């Protein structure tokens, strides 16, 4: 946990304002339900998600199949957080960069370049293709394949895998 030095006072009803910078960094938006719990001696806020992980271990299976079939390395995200990275466990729980997250929110595949910031503080070591995971009109995640020269055929394979994951919701 980082000490960022922001002090807020609580009002008579126990309310406090979460600073805008923190809300932006955590991607909290107006109206987002937050889960509040105690961890040791700290109060923790996180986005509330009432559904269990619908993907279960399917995300790992898809990542492995894509990597074995197409070569390269594959990861799956839920929302903007990596939930499966069998080839590189250090990527687990990393958040997509705001720029990449914004690009896939329109529901179209995105071809990225080597050196582009894919995740917060992490530049891609390879070109990549990112296909959005759609559930009832909302982008709920993505499948990302790292490959030096991703092709349109590989994009179609990824779209098929993404469609399979969408059926898990």
Domain ranges for the chain, please list them: 1-50, 58-166
pLDDT tens across the length of the chain (169 residues): 556 678 889 999 999 998 888 888 888 888 888 888 887 788 888 877 655 566 767 888 889 999 999 988 999 998 888 998 988 888 888 899 988 988 888 888 999 999 999 987 788 889 999 999 988 888 888 999 999 888 888 888 988 888 888 887 7
Comparing 1-50 with 58-166, is the CATH topology the same? no
Task: Return the CATH number of 1-50, one of 2.10.260.10, 2.40.50.140, 1.10.287.70, 2.30.42.10.
Answer: 2.10.260.10
pLDDT tens profile 8-53: 899 999 999 988 888 888 888 888 888 888 877 888 888 776 555 6
How far apart are the C-alpha atoms of 130 and 112, rounded to whole Å? Answer: 8
- 63 within 8 A of 86, measured Cβ to Cβ: yes
How far apart are the C-alpha atoms of 134 and 130, rounded to whole Å? Answer: 13
Instruction: Indicate the pTM of the whole model.
Output: 0.69
CATH number of 58-166: 3.30.450.40
């Amino acid at each position: 946990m980082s000490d960022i030095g922001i002090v807020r006072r609580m009002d008579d009803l126990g309310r406090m304002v979460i600073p805008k910078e923190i809300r932006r960094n955590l991607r909290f938006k107006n109206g987002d339900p937050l889960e509040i719990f105690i961890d040791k001696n700290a109060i923790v806020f996180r986005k509330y998600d009432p559904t269990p992980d619908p993907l279960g271990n399917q995300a790992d299976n898809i990542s492995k199949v894509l990597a074995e079939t197409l070569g390269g390395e594959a990861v799956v995200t839920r929302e903007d957080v990596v939930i499966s990275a069998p080839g590189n466990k250090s990527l687990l729980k990393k958040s997509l960069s705001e720029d990449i997250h914004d690009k896939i929110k329109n529901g179209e595949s995105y071809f990225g370049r080597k050196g582009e910031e894919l995740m917060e503080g992490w530049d891609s070591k390879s070109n990549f293709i990112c296909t959005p995971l759609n559930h009832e009109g909302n982008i709920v995640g993505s499948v990302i394949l790292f490959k030096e020269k991703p092709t349109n055929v590989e994009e179609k394979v990824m779209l098929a895998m993404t469609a399979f994951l969408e059926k898990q919701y």
